[in-house]
Amino acid sequence: MHLHILGICGTFMGSLALLARDLGHKVTGSDANVYPPMSTQLENAGITLMQGYERSHLQPHPDLVIVGNAMKRGIDAIEYMLNAGLPYISGPQFLADHVLQGQHVLGVAGTHGKTTTTTMLAWVLDQAGLNPGFLIGGVPLGFSQSARLGGGQYFCVEADEYDSAFFDKRSKFVHYHPKTAILNNLEFDHADIFDDLAAIQKQFHHLVRTIPSEGRIIAPISETNIDEVLQMGCWTPVLRTSLDAHDHAALSAEQLLADGSHFKVLQDGVVKGEVHWNMTGQHSVANALATIAAAEHVGVAIETACAALSNFGGVKRRMELLGTIKGVEVYDDFAHHPTAIETTLDGARKRLGERKLWAIIEPRSNTMRMGSHKDGLADSARLADQVIWYQPEGMDWDLQPVIDASANKAMIARSLDEIIQTVSGQAGEGDAVVIMSNGGFGGLHQKLLRALKA
């Protein structure tokens, strides 16, 4: 079949495109925001990309249109698709119907850490020889691409709570029917589609209802918002994890280094393995415990999982070191929520010690642009020595109150040039610069590296 994907450069849809191609379909796609790393990955896979959403992209007619959740009524291609009576489907439904049938699905859900944890899980199962399929909402460093069909009975999927399509407002993860489900954490996010935390919890409970009684749910012992979901009704055994070895959790960590780069893994209080890796932050340790518990559910020994994680390469755009220029380290991170900003900077601070830490933050997610998290932003970046908040045109609110509430040195920049001039003029040897955005940030990363070289 000829499949055309509308919104193909989204992290989910781009990965789905790779799976569809590997199923033997001809795949083309359209997107308004074509930027690396996903665009590069798709082009390298031989998938034709078209800029914008024009009706001409659907001529001649494809056999099926896969509609991304960024699509809305009024878009030229969408109106043409409906008026011409073209068959169409949401991305999650296509994945469920054409890829996940007959598989033991391992789903990773939560407000934070889905991409990294899904990558960790796929990596552990791969290193254990299980040849899993996977769909990751990002570009992993340990694999050649973000999705593959695999050759066994296991499939790891990033189970997102965002809606499926303009015609299907259920969360993506409702389609996946996992047998092993990680519920990493749960906070308010996606203010553009959810009114409050309770609305998100309702969707999470829809997911819980689909998990079989012979499956496994994995959740941290400290997540009260997840507890409330499970109290709505749960028919599946729940395995609890904890960052404190003294907690009565089935799986816990005894941390040997404060930055999270070295820890022991305990099962019911007994040491079963040790992880010594390049990742940092308490969130990374939490992700590792969830990964180990999910892998153990499909027969991977804890010791084997720990050994695999010790060789884990990470994910692009998750504290990814882009380069060190004249002693200045420049990192790229996907942080899109105050908690993600805080945990990322916490790990960076513990690793860097007293070295100067810069945070350059673009509040780009729909929730951030709407101002839903504005009261927590100043505190989320408190561990950086100097913070530059980017105020793009068209943002719904002004960042000045964030600057006023900051205990550290903070400023607003209204252009990329202003950011580049400030950092290149003031950063010195030993400094670390963390650029945080869930988008392309106008190519700031490479522009800053070039400026530092000059």
What's the number of CA atoms in the CB half-sphere (13 Å) around residue 190? 21
Q: Which of 161, 115, 113 has the alpha carbon at shortest distance from 134?
A: 115
Task: Please tell me the predicted confidence (pLDDT) of residue 402.
Answer: 86
Q: What confidence score (pLDDT) does residue 369 get?
A: 58
Q: Are 284 and 260 in contact (CB under 8 A)?
A: yes
Residue 245 counted as domain residue: yes
Q: Judging by DSSP bridges, how do beta strands 357-361 and 409-413 pair with one another?
A: unpaired
What's 51's domain CATH number?
3.40.50.720
Structural domain span for residue 60: 2-90
| 267 and 387 co-located in one domain | no
Containing H/E element for 278? Answer: none
Residue 173 has a pLDDT of 94
How big is the chain by its Cα radius of gyration, in Å? 22
- Order the strands of the 409-413 sheet from edge to edge: 320-325, 328-333, 432-436, 357-361, 386-390, 409-413
Closest CA to 275 of 241, 308, 301: 308
How many domains does the structure of the chain reveal?
3
Contact between residue 44 and residue 139 where contact means Cβ atoms under 8 Å apart: no
* pLDDT for res 370: 58
CB neighbour class for 233 (10 Å; exposed up to 12, middle 13-18, buried from 19)? exposed
Inside any domain, residue 413: yes
Tell me which of 90, 119, 135 is where a domain ends.
90
Q: Which residue has the tokens 């609890």?
A: 240
DSSP assignment letter at 88: E
My answer on whether 48 and 138 are in the same domain is no
Q: How far is CA 202 from CA 165, 194, 207, in A?
A: 18, 10, 9
Clarify whether residues 285 and 332 are in a common domain: no
Domain boundary among 309, 337, 366: 309
- Please state, in angstroms and as integers, the Cα–Cα distance from residue 90 to each residue in 13, 61, 64, 71, 335, following that order: 10, 17, 10, 10, 26
Q: Do 41 and 145 lie in a common domain?
A: no
- H or E element that contains 196: none
Q: Are 156 and 134 in contact (CB under 8 A)?
A: yes
Look at residue 95 and tell me if it is in a domain. Answer: no
161: tokens are 């709570």
> 3-state DSSP call for residue 18?
helix
What is the pLDDT tens value at each position of the chain, 454 positions in all?
999 999 999 889 999 999 999 999 999 999 997 767 678 878 888 899 999 999 999 999 999 999 999 999 999 999 999 999 999 999 999 999 999 999 999 999 988 888 899 999 999 999 999 999 999 987 777 788 889 999 989 999 999 888 999 999 998 999 999 999 999 988 766 556 666 788 889 999 999 999 999 999 999 998 899 999 999 999 999 999 999 988 889 999 999 998 888 999 999 999 999 999 988 888 899 999 999 999 999 999 999 999 999 998 776 677 788 889 989 999 998 776 787 788 788 878 888 888 999 999 888 765 565 555 667 788 888 889 999 989 877 777 788 888 888 888 888 888 899 999 999 989 889 999 999 887 778 889 899 999 998 8
Count the Cβ atoms, other than its own, within 10 Å of residue 129: 9
Residues 131 and 277 occupy one common structural domain: yes
**Tell me, what amino acid is at 369?**
R
Do both 83 and 110 map to the same domain? no
Q: Which residues contact 383 (CB under 8 A, 6 or more apart)?
A: 342, 345, 346, 348, 349, 357
Q: What is the dihedral of CA 221, 225, 230, 231, to 10 degrees?
A: 110
* Domain's final residue, options 68, 90, 112: 90
Q: Are 296 and 337 within one domain?
A: no
What are residue 147's DSSP bridge partners? Answer: 135
Same domain? 160 vs 213: yes
**What is the pTM (predicted TM-score) of this model?**
0.77
Residues 355, 389 within the same domain: yes
Helix axes 282-297, 338-352, angle to 10 degrees: 110
Do 107 and 254 fall into the same domain? Answer: yes
